[in-house]
Structure 1
Amino acid sequence: MSTTTGPSPDRAAAEAPDRAAAEAPSRVLVLNSGSSSVKYQLLDMSDGSRLALGLVERIGEETSRLAHTPLLDGGRATRERFGPVPDHAAALKAVAEELAADGLGLDSPELAAIGHRVVHGGLRFTEPTVIDDEVLAEIERLVPVAPLHNPANLLGIRTAMALRPDLPQVAVFDTAFHTTMPEAAARYAIDVETADAHRIRRYGFHGTSHAYVSRETAKLLGKEPEEVNVIVLHLGNGASASAVRGGRCVDTSMGLTPLEGLVMGTRSGDVDPAVTFHLMRVADMSADEIDTLLNKKSGLVGLCGDNDMREIRRRIDAGDERAALAFDVYVHRLKKYIGAYYAVLGRVDAVAFTAGVGENAAPVREAAITGLEELGLAVDAGLNAVRSDEPRIVSPEYARVAVAVVPTDEELEIARQSYALVSG
């Protein structure tokens, strides 16, 4: 009589962890909730691939739109829905329906976590954090220093928690990467007691992007992040600079709010604080009116009426003097921060451009670097003109400091941090 034997107990025990690892959920849904929108991506962290992405916009309006793109098997056909989406709960329900139609529903056992972008984490949240009632309460306490962002982030979190109360929800904070700044960089020179009582200090934003781009720049140079000093220029409609020494932020341009620093699409960036008092006195403007002026009617749009760099360049080519002035003010501020952060770091290995303008506007990169040759910086016109979705060097070989274009990927960074936290 023959007998069939299975694997020995020792072998079975050895194989069990491998089977468990293979079967462990590896997908992360990343949510970026704005006041009237939800951006989302579903990623598989076993290989970093994207399974789906989309956007719900104009939430609360009759003309709401959901655009969903499944990416399975190389597909990129976008499905659209139009019609009223009254609130974030309805938006996420619609997202769940679209994902389910592709076999990627939120009830999938392969979903390991939902990762949320949260703009402001104050000084308490320096790492990605699993969300519980205490974390929610602290995010809410930070609303006064992030009134445009944290309330919307909270809406998205609470809605997702209601949909999947059993699933880990992870907050990844825009401010976290900047919490390594020394006090000399983070402190404003105002009365310490007043500052501490009202949490007034430089927090910085776009930290998820700065973290990702600084590491990818090191990789592009063939080095570890700990070996590299990088100036990162995140240039989108919102814009910020950071000085990163050995993988740690030591200074950044945005401050208590995302208003400080570089010239942006609609935000002023650095401005004399007395402008506020002057406008109150001579223009009889209220605090809310000045807030709107500096956040929504300034920057490029305030200088020339446009905040799209492509349109500004077209107008410059047509001889428009206001557009040329706006471009010059924008670039002048960039140069100031490059020089300042060069001084802060002492040694710079690379200047990395990222985000919509940084990745796509070759004239901005050229203008920002031109004249900084004595600092070891230069741009190769041919390399700079090339359009690509890949990280690349656009400086000539002789340049002492690399000038890089590194596409940012905040969703992948949020997914990585969320998955690392929940997978142990």
Structure 2
Amino acid sequence: MTTTPTKEGSAAVQARRVLVLNSGSSSVKYQLLDMNDRSRLAIGLVERIGEETSRLLHTPLTGGGAETRERNGRIADHAAALKAAAEELAADGLGLDSPELAAIGHRVVHGGLRFTRPTVITDEVLTEIERLVPVAPLHNPANITGIRTAQALRPDLPQVAVFDTAFHTTMPEYAARYAIDVETADAHRIRRYGFHGTSHAYVSRKAAELLGRTPEEVNVIVLHLGNGASASAVAAGRCVETSMGLTPLEGLVMGTRSGDIDPAVTFHLKRVAGMSTDEIDVLLNKKSGLVGLCGDNDMREIRRRIDEGDERAALAFDIYVHRLKKYIGAYSAVLGRVDAVVFTAGVGENSAPVREAAIAGLEELGLVVDADLNAVRSGEPRLISPNYARVAVAVVPTDEELEIADQTFALVGRAESAGQEVPAGQVDN
């Protein structure tokens, strides 16, 4: 089914709402935004889909209230989850049948090399997303399920895919290629794709605003530090390097992922420890990183343990920070000139000790953190470096949902407002 409707009457001109869906294997996160002022009208989460203990949390943000409603009980599948979310939205007068809804924007984790921008979803586009399942087996199937479910609910509405990988497709070949046999790599799509692209795009642009300059005028290192973590080097608004690779496993130390590791470790574990490929996969993705090093992947708990003298937690923290320093240094070399190093996501935005430790000792690179500014807690973009610092250090809260809504509306909203046909999705060559 192709969802490329044309404008039908005056209602289409007024359609300025975007529903953002992030479908996981057993969850659906959603936000409804009003693109007139880019405000949120409602947010929600359906989790543990398919289990007896399913739960829906819905928070309307209109009328001055923000009281969360909760539903408990089995929600069988994604179709039932989206139906339940639609019922909650309708109860607030924000139903999906509203003529004010312009489009549904979907987070799609892997777009390979062929999707370099937000794309209206057609049969061809959906087929290509399915073809990428082997390189994103944990994410793309859930994203596809969410797309098909939303298409069934509103077959007349543009459904837009916004890809985590798209921002990183500007990497030059010498940064994206692994040094393995070219024919083998091409046959199996083995290369560095990168992830968290919507966050890196949003944060690098906001960092430029914070500096009072345009994205084209600045070079920025973005450190997206959540349970998953990635770094990017952004030159003049374009990603030229990022830490995650074929999968989200490469790069920084993360909550449960190892990050960079000698590939021969996997051979060793198979030959010497007798571990299967699946067991090694689970080890590196779910039992490594901070949780593997000290048993905790919550930075707040790790810092509490450090304050109590826990040496294992202290070592985990030091390993985490050491990897951050390596990437800051490497990306400074890649960019040549750095205007800002920017921290974002849960750890990056909230852990002053991580920010302080990551920058400590990098004065020769022009990097300094002001202790008082670093200690301030705020939901606003802010500088934490002193005025004399050669390179700005900043904290910029990420907003991936707003980025998806912006990209979705930029694609479909302008065309509808102008009375034009919404552009059909296309697969880039």
TM-score (norm 1): 0.95
> Shift of the alpha carbon at 1:74?
2.3
1:269 alignment partner, one of 259, 271, 292: 259
Shift of 1:46: 1.0
In the TM superposition, residue 21 of structure 1 has moved relative to its aligned partner by 9.8
Mapping 1:126-275, distance limit 5 Å: 126-275=116-265
Structure showing greater radius of gyration is 1
Instruction: Return the alpha-carbon distance in structure 1 between the equivalents of residues 166 and 124 of structure 2.
Output: 18
Once the two structures are superposed, the pairs formed by residues 21-420 of structure 1 within 5 Å of their partners are: 23-420=13-410
- Displacement of 1:95 after TM fit? 0.2
Name the SS of the counterpart of 1:348 in structure 2.
coil
How does the TM-score come out when normalised to structure 2?
Answer: 0.94
Q: Deviations over 1:100-158 (max 9, x none)?
A: 00000000000000000000000000000000111111111000000110001011000
Separation in structure 2 between the aligned mates of residue 313 and residue 147 of structure 1, nearest angstrom: 34
Distance in 2 separating the partners of 1:351 and 1:219: 14
How far apart, CA to CA, are the structure 1 residues paired with 2:371 and 2:54? 43
Which runs of no fewer than 5 residues in structure 1 stay unpaired? 1-18
Give aligned-pair identity as a percent: 86
Amino acid at match of 2:34: D
Q: Is the 8 A contact 2:21 2:104 kept in 1?
A: yes
**In structure 2, what is the Cα distance between the partners aligned to 1:250 and 1:376?**
21
Letter in 2 for 1:331: V
Q: How many angstroms apart in 1 are the aligned matches of 2:217 and 2:163?
A: 25
C-alpha distance in 2 between matches for 1:152 and 1:271: 28
Distance 2:118 2:28 in 1: 20
Give deviations 1:304-360, integer Å, cap 9, x for gaps.
000000000000000001100000000000000000000000000000000000000
Query: 1:75 offset after TM fit, Å?
Result: 1.2
Amino acid at match of 1:291: D
Q: Deviations over 1:216-255 (max 9, x none)?
A: 0000000000001000000000000000000000000000
Is this contact kept in 1: 2:12–2:100, CA < 8 A?
no
Cα deviation, residue 33, structure 1: 0.3
1 or 2 for the larger relative contact order (CA 8 Å, sep ≥6)?
2
Count of residue pairs brought into register by the alignment: 406
**How far did 1:22 drift?**
9.8
Over the aligned positions, Cα root-mean-square deviation in angstroms equals 1.0
Shift of 1:24: 2.1
Structure 2 gap ranges (5+): 1-8, 416-429
Query: How far apart are residue 32 of structure 1 and its match?
Result: 0.3
Aligned-pair distance for 1:23? 4.5
Q: Could you tell me how far apart the structure 2 residues matched to 1:209 and 1:315 are?
A: 30
Taking the aligned partners of 1:20 and 1:109, their CA distance within structure 2 comes to 10
